[in-house]
Amino acid sequence: MTGPPSTVNKRTANKRAAERRGRGAEWLAAAILMAKGYRILARRYRNGAGEIDLIARKRGLVAYVEVKYRARRAAAPFAVAERQKQRIRRAAALFLAHNPSLAAFDQRFDVLVVSRFSLPQHIKNAW
């Protein structure tokens, strides 16, 4: 990063604030899923293919959940780009390879959107 030190410090502070909001949104999303009867199998699951914010199980279903914090809910449908979806799919495939007992379960990709001043929105089968 180039620029005056004050600009660099502001960028760093903004990045940290966004990280805190994201972690808070993930915590809230996990709580919402648990209240709906899901069991959280993994948080911030990472492997060589990518990262999945939450992996949750409910009965015969494994849901790979991408959590998005957006200031406005209207931006939510565009929150997950195609490239990111592909990384999440690959990460999910590796997760299943390491957890073969879950391979017989139905698999689903969800998005849980957290935004200011509105209730969280759980979009099932987002892609």
Q: Lowest-confidence range among 17-26, 68-77, 118-127?
A: 68-77
* Integer angstrom CA distances of residue 127 from 7, 10, 20, 96: 38, 36, 27, 18
* Dist CA 77 CA 21 (whole Å): 19
The pLDDT confidence band at residue 4, using thresholds 50, 70 and 90, is low
Going by C-alpha positions, the residue among 38, 116, 113, 115 that lies closest to residue 79 is 113
pTM confidence score = 0.83
Is the sign of the CA dihedral 107, 19, 77, 116 positive or negative? positive
Q: Lowest-confidence range among 2-6, 45-49, 80-84, 113-117?
A: 2-6
Instruction: Indicate whether 75 pLDDT > 70.
Output: no
Could you tell me the domains of the chain? 5-123 (3.40.1350.10)
Which bin fits 11, alpha (ψ -120 to 50), beta or left (φ > 0)? Answer: alpha
More confident residue, 22 or 120: 120
Going by C-alpha positions, the residue among 24, 23, 127 that lies closest to residue 84 is 127
